[in-house]
Amino acid sequence: MLTFPSGCSLARSMKSSQRISHLTGGGSDGWDVFYRARRMKAAGQPVIELTIGEHDIRTAPDILAAMDAAARAGHTGYASVPGTDALRKAVATRIATRTGVATGPENILITPGGQAGLFAAAMATLDPGDRALFVDPYYVTYPGTLRAAGGVPVPVAARPEHAFQPQAADLAVVAPDARVLLVNSPNNPTGAVYDAATLADIAGVVTDHDLWLISDEVYDTQVWEGEHLSPRALPGMADRTLVVGSMSKSHAMTGSRIGWVCGPEEIIVEMINLATHTTYGVPGYIQDAATFALGQGETPEEAVAAPFRRRRAITARLVAGQNVVRAAPMQGAMYAMLDIRATGLSGEGFANALLDAERVAVMPGESFGAAAAGHVRVALTVDDAAFEDALGRLLRFAAARAGAVSPA
Ligand code: PMP
């Protein structure tokens, strides 16, 4: 081993790439309250966490049994990089059945989770310096993912007064210089499910300006109001749309890291080449378990979604019983976006004060972008009784704060 008299200074002189050091954009991002809640919990305080999108149930035993059987049968070596034939076929069939768009295994790349699918989609569609539009409020990794692919992320606000549905006029302002539009419905963090009119607007903008559409549909099985519509199914859209899917949310398989990208065969072939040089595929026993799970159809998906449906109903009932906090339409996904502007606090101020006063942790809206300022995102991810207790405390806290702002 070589030793250097001034080894430390040599290490300090080494610089990481700008691509990686600029990935997250820097600055405080409103996640401080999350880390503070984690520290309080680790110190033994009874904090109820309604923060990240992780189920309070685990992967179903029959899926685990399929995983175990596949591993014991020897599917522990390198798996096929694009995904096993069986899983690519199962995903293609699921998409074709649910959307009516002809889809074959050649349109599918299996990825280690939706996040790797988002990254692959960004890499496949962006050249360095290309502008990539994304809707604000947004899932936290979007700007970094677009930046990692060399893109310049450009937020397009979807405002509370429009029920967090993006507007054609806002998209049209920024679309002429862009290469990609990234959308997400059902939406994290807002709970919006884009309606037919919004999707028609999105399709119109990307067609008029010749953009790629990346459609993140990882919450497609969690729809409480309206229906999930995939923009890939709109006329002319299959050629310019990459759909990102995942079994994290639909089958409570967050830790198994299993998802996909669906798109035109030519670009999927190029993305397989990217996978060869990055992930080298997904473990075969995980893919076999996923194939088994998809073979069970919608019943297990409904079972995984059911607790969120119940807690959404609890939220609607409790919010209807007061007039300080307003809920954005809770149409889908495992979150409620609550407007707390009547308390006079910012989302961040509210979340911090709530954590101190009530030991309830929620995410400040600001951590998901400027358009969610004055809101907090509540994850519907603890058991019903604890959830009702925590939400009750949040609403009483808000009422007390609003009283302090306006004695009337
Ligand atoms: N997209 C959205 C909107 C998400 O909320 C998440 C996870 N929270 C992902 C993608 C990535 O999920 P995964 O990589 O676990 O499939």
Which domains, ranges and CATH numbers included, belong to the chain? Answer: 16-58+300-400 (3.90.1150.10), 76-296 (3.40.640.10)
Distance 230 CA to ligand 1 centre (A): 17
Buried b (16+ CB within 10 A) or exposed e, 180-189: bbbbbbbbbb
Neighbour count for residue 306 (Cβ, 10 Å): 11
Distance 399 CA to ligand 1 centre (A): 33
Distance 387 CA to ligand 1 centre (A): 22
Distance 335 CA to ligand 1 centre (A): 13
> Among 185, 249, 256, 258, which is best to mutate for testing ligand 1, by the most ligand atoms less than 8 A from CB?
249
* CA-closest residue to ligand 1 atom 7: 53
Neighbour count for residue 50 (Cβ, 10 Å): 25
Nearest-atom number in ligand 1 for the CA of 115 is 14
Alpha-carbon distance of 43 to 216, in angstroms, equals: 37
Nearest-atom number in ligand 1 for the CA of 184 is 3
Q: Which residues contact 169 (CB under 8 A, 6 or more apart)?
A: none
Ligand 1 binding pocket includes 259 (Cβ within 6 Å): yes
Q: Give the residue from 246, 14, 29 showing the smallest Cα distance to 120.
A: 246
Predicted pLDDT of residue 13: 77
Question: What is the residue type of 223?
Answer: V
Run of H or E residues at 377: strand 375-379
> Among 248, 279, 363, 380, which is best to mutate for testing ligand 1, by the most ligand atoms less than 8 A from CB?
248
Helix, strand, coil share (%) of the chain residues, nearest 5: 50, 15, 40
Q: What's the gap between Cα 307 and its chain centre?
A: 19
Q: Which residues contact 3 (CB under 8 A, 6 or more apart)?
A: none
272's tokens: 């397989």
User: Dihedrals φ, ψ of 130, to 5°?
Assistant: -70, 145
Q: Give the residue from 85, 87, 55 showing the smallest Cα distance to 293.
A: 87
Predicted pLDDT of residue 26: 65
User: Dihedrals φ, ψ of 308, to 5°?
Assistant: -70, -35
Alpha-carbon distance of 143 to 309, in angstroms, equals: 30
Cβ(132)–Cβ(151) below 8 Å: yes
Ligand 1 binding pocket includes 185 (Cβ within 6 Å): no
The model carries a pTM of 0.95
Nearest-atom number in ligand 1 for the CA of 246 is 16
pLDDT digits (tens), the chain, 408 positions: 344 444 445 556 799 998 899 888 765 567 889 999 999 999 999 999 999 989 999 999 999 999 999 999 999 999 999 999 999 999 999 999 999 999 999 999 999 999 999 999 999 999 999 999 999 999 999 999 999 999 999 999 999 999 999 999 999 999 999 999 999 999 999 999 999 999 999 999 999 999 999 999 999 999 999 999 999 999 999 999 999 999 999 999 999 999 999 999 999 999 999 999 999 999 999 999 999 999 999 999 999 999 999 999 999 999 999 999 999 999 999 999 999 999 999 999 999 999 999 999 999 999 999 999 999 999 999 999 999 999 999 999 999 999 876 544
Distance 114 CA to ligand 1 centre (A): 6
Backbone region of residue 168 per phi and psi (left: phi > 0; alpha: psi in -120 to 50; beta: other values):
alpha
Per-residue pLDDT tens over the stretch 11-22: 567 999 988 998
Q: Residue 169, class by beta-carbon neighbours within 10 Å (0-12 exposed, 13-18 middle, 19+ buried)?
A: exposed
Predicted pLDDT of residue 31: 81
Q: Which residues contact 190 (CB under 8 A, 6 or more apart)?
A: 137, 158, 164, 328, 335, 337, 372
Distance 143 CA to ligand 1 centre (A): 14
Per-residue pLDDT tens over the stretch 41-88: 999 999 999 999 899 999 999 999 999 999 999 999 999 999 999 999
Q: What's the gap between Cα 176 and its chain centre?
A: 26
Ligand 1 binding pocket includes 248 (Cβ within 6 Å): yes
